[in-house]
Amino acid sequence: MISILFLLLSGTCSAIASILLKNASSGEGAAALASSFAIDRPMLLRISALGAYGIGFLMYALALRRVELHIAYPLMVAITVIELFVFNAWGGGLPPLKAASGAALLVLGVCLLYSSQTTHA
């Protein structure tokens, strides 16, 4: 069960890093924080994204100690995709039908993989 928590944290770190990189490229972000460090805002967001990816990698590596790769990777990606969809919807944007359908198929596939893993264990 702790491995699933590590995968959840890894996916969350990946989603956070993606959001930070998008904000860095769009010019949004933490202007007050950036000015206090005398670093321009996009660079601070990119450095933060790199840190989030690093933490996510460590969480993923810990999860791989107990979860097989063919289960761990799709689950981590599904968590990331779901969190990005929620973040996007919270910001007022609705995903295109193709993207929502693809995400739904990804989640369904992960559910099938995970259920087949637990029935054969």
| Mean pLDDT, residues 61-80 | 91
Q: How far is CA 68 from CA 12, 118, 121, in A?
A: 20, 12, 12
- Does pLDDT of 116 surpass 80? no
| Mean pLDDT, residues 62-69 | 92
The closest alpha carbon to 66, from 15, 5, 14, belongs to: 5
The closest alpha carbon to 73, from 18, 6, 17, belongs to: 6
pLDDT at 9: 96
Q: Find the farthest-apart pair of alpha carbons in the chain and give their distance in angstroms, rounded.
A: 55
pLDDT at 118: 60
DSSP states along 6-48 = HHHHHHHHHHHHHHHHHHHHHT-S-HHHHHHTTS-HHHHHHHH
pLDDT band at 27 (very low <50, low <70, confident <90, very high): low
Of 21 and 36, the structure prediction assigns the larger pLDDT to 21
Q: pLDDT digit string (tens) for 38-65? A: 567 888 999 999 999 999 999 999 999 9
Q: Enumerate the domain spans of the chain.
A: 2-120
Within 10 A of 22 (CB to CB), how many other CB atoms are there?
Answer: 16
- Does pLDDT of 34 surpass 70? no
pLDDT band at 97 (very low <50, low <70, confident <90, very high): confident
- Does pLDDT of 72 surpass 80? yes
